[in-house]
Chain A
Amino acid sequence: MSGIKRYLIRKTLIYTLTFFLAVTIDFIIPRMMPGDPIGVLLSRFATLPEATKYLHGYFVQAFGLNKPLWEQYLSFWNAVLHGDLGVSIYYYPKPVTEILKAAIPYDLALLFPALVASWFVGNWLGAIAGKNRKLDSYLMPVFYFLQASPYFWFAILLSYLFTFKLGWFPISGAYSYGIIPSLSWEFIKDYLYHWILPFLSLFMVQLGGWAIGMRNMIIYEVEADYIRYLEALGASERTLMKHAFKNAMLPQVTGLAIQLGLLVAGNVTVQIVFSYPGIGYVLMQGIMNQDYFLIQGAFLVIILTVLIANFTIDLLYALIDPRVRTSYTEEGG
């Protein structure tokens, strides 16, 4: 079997297992907790006896609490695979899937550009710092400080500076109240105007981490034997850096997996600061209002996003690092 194929099979297996485990966790936790979840949920509707009657039937059916556990588990899987995540308590009677569907585009429009832009700019700045010792002594503390900042605190800082002090950008929301989402130029302009601060919060904090990683790798690589050898051969500075940069790149791709988890979590908190209507904001509403269906649904969406992104990164990795392919070929004999 070819190396790449073995690699793919292995990765697919791990990701399937992870997804399986995540859904199981999502299933188990409300059932493990002490107390009666249905009672807690129904107490919210104490003033609406009609709704209570309907909801009680619905909840018992949805949780299937009268059935044996394995049957509950199977029906939970069945529901998840059919995209049925129940009905939200807080946004009653909206289905959770519908709420999440409306939120996801806002997340992707923040996460993807932030990840890609911070990766490129961070690596670029980090390489400069790694190469230039004088610049490094100024840049390194800045990178560290950015990396050390909680995402949402950085968001607060930006909104204090750019909204309160300078009044340049709006404080909350994804678009102005008076405007209806459409593909018009007017809406896009308004949308970008609201998008910039949440984006910058994610971008800046991420950038710090990438830059530090790249800086360390470049310093490490520049001292490596192959670079010394190239230098002895009389290769130009440009050629040296090109080779060092290429090798330093690999850990930066592996690092995407860990950073992505942090970024998704950071995204949740940043959205709360700006009342930005993505998954993070929805999740917060779920937590504040003990809307378990909403929390479950948001958890699943977050897990799925991260899994898909990680899988893509792993594929990318196999493409750029020939060692991955060969190592799996050798193992296969």
Chain B
Amino acid sequence: MSLKRTLRIALKNSKFKVGIAIVTIMAIFALLGPLTTPFDNMGYYPIKFGSTTFPKPTTPSLPPMSQDTVYGPSGVVNVTHYLGTDSFGRDIYAQLTYGMRSSFFIGIVAGGLATLLGLLIGFVAGYKGGWTDESLMILTNIMLVIPTMALLIIIAAYLPYRGTGIESLIIGLTAWPWAARAVRAQTLSLKNREFVNLARLSGLSDLRIIFDQIMPNMVSYVFMVFILQFGGSILAAVGLDFIGLGPTRGMSLGIMLQQAVLWNAVTLGYWWWAIPPGLVIAILITGLYFINTGLDEVFNPRLRRGGE
């Protein structure tokens, strides 16, 4: 199926369209949101004093859409807290939009890495077969059974300084097994097709066959795997951040939720602190699932329900 035709069918699919719309809106929010707020990534108001910047908290525990004033060296500044402030006087909206940014970063880096690893291992296992397949699948099954979160916990617990990059790396290195299994199954079904046998007969190297003959037939599939890995990585990162194993400096959606729980946002009724960080993640990932189902229906006509 050519790319153009695929896209045309995909754009007729309502689930795909809804998913794309949700993810695009979230991506714009992550990319441009930080430009719409005077606060920094921690939600403080940066006050420039000469060449240094001092992060200044504002009035704590304000509900959404509150007006507030900041006293700086250049006079009084009026600000609006779109989503209110937390117990430390930090702007929630700013934390949320910067947090979305790092979530997207983790989704792309960790999800990309996991997809790549899954692809590589699944391909090699399925294509080579025999002993290679056997040992790679044992490794995959072992990694599949060990709960990723438990592994992440134990690795992250012993790293004293962690950034978003390290976190993505850890997640990417542990999230690949199910992708490897799925890719292997696909490779197995493709490798005995006539065109692949023909390529083999004409003496092409294994690598050439994998990249020139098998890969192009799996692009759509790999893309769907990436979407799921993207969402899964974001969820894994939020969980890690929440139990205190996320980045040791800075802010993220998971850290926001952790602080909201630690400082009793729920019992105090500060819903604007405890609810939005998880809500944007749930909405974003719902969007990803919609894209995935839409694509599934495009590539797999049996799943289409008449009129869609």
Query: Please, could you name 5 A-B residue pairs with CB atoms under 8 Å apart, sorted by A?
Result: A144-B286, A145-B286, A265-B147, A268-B153, A287-B157
What's the nearest-Cβ distance from chain A to residue B67, in Å? 25
Q: How many A-B residue pairs have CB under 8 A?
A: 165
Partner pick for B278 among A149, A219, A303, CB 8 A cutoff: A149
Contact of B263 with A by CB under 8 A: no
Contact of A223 with B by CB under 8 A: yes
Contact of A239 with B by CB under 8 A: no
Q: Is the CB of B282 within 8 A of A149?
A: yes
What's the nearest-Cβ distance from chain A to residue B229, in Å? 13
Partner pick for B281 among A32, A148, A216, CB 8 A cutoff: A148
Contact of A180 with B by CB under 8 A: no
Contact of A21 with B by CB under 8 A: yes
What's the nearest-Cβ distance from chain A to residue B188, in Å? 14
A186-222 to B contact mask, C-beta < 8 Å, 1/0: 0000000000000000000000000010001001100
Interface residues of A in 238-269 (CB under 8 A from B): 257-258, 260-262, 264-266, 268-269
Which residues of A approach B to under 8 Å, CB–CB? 14-15, 17-18, 21-22, 25-26, 29-30, 32-35, 133, 141, 144-145, 147-154, 156-157, 159-160, 163-164, 171, 212, 216, 219-220, 223, 257-258, 260-262, 264-266, 268-269, 272-273, 283-284, 286-288, 290, 292, 295-296, 299, 302-303, 306-307, 310
Residue of A nearest to B150 (CB): A302
Interface residues on B, range: 35 or more
Contacts of A152 in B (CB 8 A): 239, 242, 257, 261, 278
Contact of B5 with A by CB under 8 A: no
Q: Is the CB of A302 within 8 A of B303?
A: no
Of the candidate stretches B27-35, B93-101, B136-144, B217-225, the one touching chain A is: B136-144
Complex Cα distance A290/B147, Å?
A: 21
Interface of B is mostly: helix
Knowing A148-B231, A153-B282 touch, does A268 contact B149 (C-beta < 8 A)? yes
Residue of A nearest to B296 (CB): A216
Q: Is the CB of B282 within 8 A of A148?
A: yes
Q: Is the CB of B178 within 8 A of A258?
A: yes
Q: Is the CB of A265 within 8 A of B150?
A: yes
Contacts of A154 in B (CB 8 A): 278
Q: Is the CB of B159 within 8 A of A18?
A: no
Q: Is the CB of B150 within 8 A of A159?
A: no
B4-40 to A contact mask, C-beta < 8 Å, 1/0: 0000000000000000000000000000000000000
Residue of A nearest to B141 (CB): A14
Contact of B65 with A by CB under 8 A: no
Residue of A nearest to B159 (CB): A33
Knowing A148-B286, A171-B266 touch, does A157 contact B278 (C-beta < 8 A)? yes
Partner pick for A257 among B144, B239, B269, CB 8 A cutoff: B144
Q: Is the CB of A306 within 8 A of B146?
A: yes
Q: Is the CB of A302 within 8 A of B243?
A: no
Complex Cα distance A207/B303, Å?
A: 22
